[in-house]
Amino acid sequence: MSGRIVCFGELLMRLTAPGRELLLQSPRLDITFGGAEANVAVSLARFGWDAAVVSTLPDNAIGQACRGELRRHGVDTRGIQMQHGRMGLYFLTVGAMQRPSEIIYDRAGSAFAVADAGGYDWSRLLEGAGWLHIGGITPAVSANAETAVIAAAQAAKAAGVKVSFDCNYRAKLWSDRGGDAPAVFARLAACADLMFGNERDIALILGADFHTLALSERFLAAAELAFRTWPGLQRLASTIRTHFDVDHQELTGRIATRDHRVHYSRTYKLNGIVDRIGGGDAFAAGLIHGIDHGMATDAAINFAAAAAALKHAVPGDANLVSTADVMSLVNEEGLDVKR
């Protein structure tokens, strides 16, 4: 293992309508904590990593409970600042049958959004790190967060720390903020060794159009353009999700490398999904783990896809399975009760 991983982004409180109810159909909400980058940290901590989260939380009972939840899963929270302010929220209505799930964000003016970008000492926070994981949600939150995440990526690149960048484009957040997502994503991609995104993300960032190509050719074409544009980028990865209804889907992982190939995982049938939120973060954590542990490309993408598939059976934002659980699925060891 090349060292610890530092994950930078906003922590959120999730408020979910119970069962399959519509939001506030009954006067109750179920509460948990999450956030894309924190989900990656929790997953990797469960895989045995030294995983740290850098963020800003409100210095009140809610922020303290969130920090405590991360600690419960073995995540290093010393890089989390506590200051006056509010917690970022999101409200989730879980879909059913042909009704899709829906998310409402309430995070404007959160403690993280207004935190001084200069308050993060990246030379100290990245000390001993082998990886920095960042995402495209962070700069969508505020101008301060944008400045901070770009500074983090540039500091990591200068220090020789590998950068994992998950595009995670959120149109609602960027529309509300009015920022320039393509320009920001381009600056982050220029620092990345590993990028999570697909042809739509590359088209957004670079203004390309892949629609003239056959569907099967678009991802590789996007990857080749990304590799030409950003010399430091070594891998582009994403999932392919097929929807039958909310509870029945299929998931495949894919990764393009500089050998002009796309490697695919096996396809997992996701029947009776418990919670799909955080599936992409579980995939990212699985792939980082596979790459860092020297797995061959095919083995790494299969590990990542299996981790993502298992997340759909775990309630909440974060994937709480172990490496043994993932390898059991990779090796198709069956579903008998483990005793």
- CA distances (Å), 203 to each of 140, 213, 218, 222, 253, in order? 18, 13, 10, 8, 20
Spatial separation of the C-alpha atoms in residues 257 and 245, rounded to whole Å: 32
pTM value is: 0.95
Q: Which of 54-63, 231-240, 288-297, 329-338 has the lowest mean pLDDT?
A: 329-338
3-state secondary structure the chain: CCCEEEEECCCEEEEECCCCCCCCCCCCCEEEEECHHHHHHHHHHHCCCCEEEEEEEECCHHHHHHHHHHHHCCCEEEEEEEECCCCEEEEEECCECCECCEEEEECCCCHHHHCCHHHCCHHHHCCCEEEEEEECHHHHHCHHHHHHHHHHHHHHHHHCCEEEEECCCCHHHHHHHCCCHHHHHHHHHCCCCEEECCHHHHHHHHCCCCCCCCHHHHHHHHHHHHHHHCCCCCEEEEEEEEEEECCEEEEEEEEEECCCEEEECCCEEEECCCCCCCHHHHHHHHHHHHHHCCCCHHHHHHHHHHHHHHHCCCCCCCCCCCHHHHHHHHCCCCCCCCC
Average per-residue pLDDT for the chain: 95
pLDDT recorded at residue 205: 97
> What's the rounded mean pLDDT across residues 165-192?
93
Q: Which tens digits make up the pLDDT trace of 20-75? A: 999 999 999 999 999 999 999 999 999 999 999 999 999 999 999 999 999 999 99
Q: Where are the domains of the chain?
A: 4-236, 237-330
CA dist list (Å): 234 to 154, 192, 195, 275, 335: 17, 8, 8, 31, 36
At 299, is the pLDDT very low, low, confident or very high (cuts 50, 70, 90)? very high
Q: Hey, which CATH number is domain 4-236, 3.40.50.720, 3.40.1190.20, 3.30.450.40, 3.30.1490.20?
A: 3.40.1190.20
Per-residue model confidence as pLDDT tens digits over 206-219 = 999 999 999 999 99
pLDDT reading at 176 higher than 90: no
